[in-house]
Amino acid sequence: MSRDLRSAIAAALVMAVAMGFGRFAFTGLYPVMVRDGVISVSDGSLAASANYLGYLLGALGAARLSAARAHSWVLAGLVATVLGLAALAVAGAPWLIVCVRGLAGAFSALAMIAASLWLLQHRGHARGAPLLYAGVGLGIALSAELLALGEWAGLGAFALWGLLAGVALLLSLASLPWLDASAIEPAAVHATQSAQAPLVAWRLIGLYGLAGLGYIVTATYLPLLIEGALGAANPVHAWTVFGLGAAPSCLLWHRLHERLGTRRALALNLAVQGVGVVLPALSQAPLVYLASALLVGATFMGTVTIALPAARLAAGDSKLNMMAVMTAAYGVGQIAGPLVAGWLYARSHSFASSLVLAALALWLGALLAEPFRNPSEPIGEHADEH
């Protein structure tokens, strides 16, 4: 196995733990916690928003994180994620759950940015981005099926968190031998300088924030939305579909990015994602729910796969850590989503209006992506490498 592939697999395992388990497993456990009386729907919305606030603060804290320090923060993110999952196995008070979820959000952002910097810059393996971000979808799918298995075995919410903590620890240990701290000189990347570069950078940040707002309602409430719609089947399986859609999509969107260029690939990605988000507002049929899970899952990590590597070019010679700034913008969108959804749900007892607003945010992001190209940027394969 090549050195680059080992590095990419290690980084993907970090993403699976810090994001798939530490960040998104809450979505699958949310209905169980409500059913077991651990939290209410409003408590869950508050915990979700605390997680997204933590994600924002973690991204801001990583704004000056260098590639040389990324390895240490990757390890810190893994340790904090496992401890956070273990803490939820004993946290009975809603306020404590909110606090733990806030800390988990901060370390998931730090781990994501650090893993990206470690692989793409410190280890010089920019082409490992699809496998890196596919780790998120694999983590979501694995954690969802662990939850389904645990529920089948009769485990309650606290025991399920303990199960996730144990498996996250095993995955973290598996990544350690290939998380090499040594640096490798990356291949030179030539970016065309243009007077429009700052405009492109801020447009990228803006649409990334809208993407955070657009996907998060589905990513927070999907199993809760589906509760009862799949008959005897556990609704967490829809979350598995979401994760399985995300994992291979990273390679697909990477290829489309190479062929279409940043602006067209992002516009297409966000437009399709908006369709997936709005579907449950139009119909409550089981197949519609599963189609929504598949479409949103197959696009939301694609946004990351396109946008974060493109951030290196958008930053130009600036010392600004564009990955951190964009992740912070994403965090702002994620905070707003559950707060608005919770407010609308309290008044209508439905998530339909929240889903429509989320889809509109994604379609606005697609419009922002459309004038992305600089006059000197060619359209076509490897467009963003010139």
**162-192 pLDDT per residue, tens:** 999 999 999 999 999 998 877 676 554 444 3
- Exposed / middle / buried, residue 354 (Cβ in 10 Å: 0-12, 13-18, 19+): buried
Dist CA 246 CA 141 (whole Å)? 9
Question: Judging by beta carbons within 10 Å of its beta carbon (0-12, 13-18, 19+), is residue 304 exposed, middle or buried?
Answer: buried
Neighbouring CB atoms inside 10 A of 152's CB total: 9
Please tell me the total number of residues recorded for the chain in this structure.
386
Q: H/E element holding 5?
A: helix 3-15
Read off the tokens for 106: 């901060």
Evaluate the CA torsion angle 39, 41, 45, 46 in order and state its sign.
Answer: negative
Interval 112-158: pLDDT, tens = 889 988 998 888 777 888 899 899 999 999 999 999 999 999 999 99
Residue 312, pLDDT above cutoff 80: no
Averaged pLDDT, 14-42: 91
Structure tokens that stand for 158 in this block: 């606290």
What's domain 3-178+194-385's architecture? Answer: Up-down Bundle (1.20)
pLDDT band at 103 (very low <50, low <70, confident <90, very high): very high
Average pLDDT over residues 37-51: 87
Distances 12 to 19, 48, 172, 247 between C-alpha atoms, Å:
10, 24, 11, 10
8-state DSSP, 255: H
| Whole-angstrom distance, CA of residue 14 vs CA of residue 19 | 8
Can you give the pLDDT at residue 204? 85
Could you tell me the two tokens for 81? 């994620």
* Contact indicator for 345, 41 with CB cutoff of 8 Å: yes
User: Which segment of 146-155, 260-269, 316-325 scores lowest on mean pLDDT?
Assistant: 316-325
Alpha-carbon distance of 288 to 356, in angstroms, equals 15
Domain positions in the chain are 3-178+194-385
pLDDT reported for residue 266: 92
Tokens coding 182: 């040594």
Instruction: Examine the pLDDT at 264 and tell me if it is beyond 60.
Output: yes
Identify the residue with better confidence: 129 or 316.
129
Q: How far, rounded to the nearest angstrom, does the alpha carbon of residue 31 sit from its chain's CA centroid?
A: 20
Q: What does the pLDDT average to over 236-260?
A: 88
